Amino acid sequence: MSPLPEDDPQLTDFLKQYRPIAPVADPKLEQRVMALVEKVPHSLATQHANRRRFRQRVVWLLPTSIAAGLVAIGGSQLLFSPQPTEAELAELETFIESTWQGTVAEQPTTETEELYPLVGEGAVN
């Protein structure tokens, strides 16, 4: 297969000489384009500003969110830890009282007295 011919100077010259010429632009076109451009903040300038704002926010947000997280965890523990019912409290109180009384009341001091109280008494008498 033969390669395609690179140039056709006669045709190209003719086309250039008689090419369709675009009508002149509206004199206000440049103003129109620039007005639209001004309205659309694009670009790196905006992106840089956004990034800077984002970084500043992160600087403040990071410690704030850590503190808020800790508070939330503490709060939730307080909030969601199981609370004893009235009945349980009453039972607990009774238990503590009886246990306390047991410890304060006179108790056998030796193993012998505990096991054979009468033997102890008789021996005394």
Partner 1 sequence: MFVVQTESDDNHSEADDSVLVQRSLRGDTQSFRLLYRRHQQRVRAIFYPLCDGSVLDDLVQEVFLRAWKGLPKFRQTAKFSTWLYRIAWNVASDQRQAAAKGRSQLEVLSQHAPIQQNSVDVMHLHYQDLVQRGLVQLSLDHRTVLVLHDLEEITQKEIAEILEIPIGTVKSRLFHARAAMRQFLETEGVQL
d(CA 94, CA 100): 10
C-alpha distance from residue 2 to each of 7, 8, 11 (Å): 15, 16, 21
Q: Which of 47, 56, 76, 98 binds partner 1 (CB under 8 A)?
A: 47
Binding window for partner 1 (CB under 8 A); candidates: 5-13, 51-59, 66-74, 100-108: 5-13
Residues numbered 84-123 forming contacts with partner 1, rule: CB under 8 A: none
Q: Is 1 in the site for partner 1 (CB under 8 A)?
A: no
> Of 43 and 77, which has the nearer Cβ to partner 1?
43
**Which tokens hold the place of 108?**
């056998």
Could you count the other beta carbons within 10 Å of the beta carbon of residue 111?
Answer: 8
2 is a site residue for partner 1 (CB under 8 A)? no
Which DSSP string corresponds to 37-64?
HHHS--SHHHHHHHHHHHHHHHHHHHHH
From first CA to last CA, the distance across the chain in angstroms is: 138
Of residues 44, 73, 79, 104, which one binds partner 1 by CB under 8 A?
A: 44
Q: What does the DSSP 8-state code read for residue 93? A: H
62 is an interface residue for partner 1 by CB under 8 A: no
Binding to partner 1 by residue 33, rule CB under 8 A? Answer: yes
Q: Which is nearer to partner 1, 25 or 78 (CB)?
A: 25
Binding site for partner 1 (CB under 8 A): 4-5, 8, 10-12, 14-23, 25-26, 29-30, 32-34, 36-38, 40-47
